Amino acid sequence: MTVATLDTFPAGLLAAPLFDRSAEDPINFGTLGSVAEHEVTHGFDSMGRKYDASGNLRDWWTPDDAQRYEQRSKYLVDQYSSYVAAEDIKVNGKLTLSENFADGAGAKLAFRAFKDRTHSNSPKSSSFFSRMPLGIAPTLLLNT
């Protein structure tokens, strides 16, 4: 999927496997929530910078914004460039930067949204963490 906003979010994504009305909240936040937040994140990355709030083709980043993005994104470029995609072919972290950024930010934002919902004592999420293997839930909570 390329650049999208929530007003162009395909309704077909609101079905299995990304959304299951009978599933517990952690499942839906982890699947559909991550995808939705992934798309929202694109509105603020190197692709989204090219379109203003009205959808017009206009770069709204300042030169300082662009410089800081370049500096900070080097770590993500390096991380993904160290991954092997298949056999001896490595990922080109510079080419995949926008997707890598959106994947990580999307998961993080979806988890925050899930935690906000959990604090409202949703009955559909109360037992999920108790069934996780020990260590996973605390790791998730510490990395958000």
Contacts of residue 94, Cβ cutoff 8 Å, sequence gap at least 6:
77, 81
For 103, half-sphere exposure in the C-beta direction (CA atoms, 13 angstrom radius) is 8
Q: Which stretch binds Zn ion (CB under 5 A): 11-19, 28-36, 51-59, 97-105?
A: 97-105
Residue 102 binds to Zn ion (criterion: CB under 5 A): yes
Q: How far apart are CB 41 and Zn ion at their closest, in Å?
A: 8
| Active-site annotation holds for 39 | yes
| Active-site annotation holds for 99 | no
Residue 105 binds to Zn ion (criterion: CB under 5 A): no
Query: What does the binding site for Zn ion look like in residue numbers (CB under 5 A)?
Result: 99, 102
Report the catalytic residues. Answer: 39, 103
